[in-house]
Structure 1
């Protein structure tokens, strides 16, 4: 995340859109919007250790999918994470 990104002002429409997304996703996941925000922040923190990402473009969704053993549907977390660049470690 670039320093300039921290100070970039979002339009009220974009802020409202992000809030609505969090409400819809948290409703599907049966967890609070605060929990979804913490999940999103943790994902950004971990992924950012290994690559430079666009946190504004991050899209997290919880849907349902068929379980592997075919005994019903289970929640599934899908994350679309725009990658700007890979971080090169000295390992």
Structure 2
């Protein structure tokens, strides 16, 4: 279980998160996902990447300031996407 904490594993987690975003957008463009399902995929993927980015950036030898900036930016994006998704879900129930 020591490999779970490794930086290489976190790089793979970031790559997987980016792939999930790409697949979600592609599925939305081909009308396989609704807008709310795409929102859920984006929220989950951004949370996944925000969790994994610190060790991945350390593996890539990025400075701590850049790592903190990336993590903070993705965390804010996660919060914004989650609030937007909640707002659109609430708006759908009122109609």
Q: What TM-score, normalized by structure 1, do the two folds share?
A: 0.28
Structure showing the higher helix proportion among its residues: 2
Q: What TM-score, normalized by structure 2, do the two folds share?
A: 0.27
Query: Which protein has greater RCO, CA pairs closer than 8 Å, 6+ apart?
Result: 2
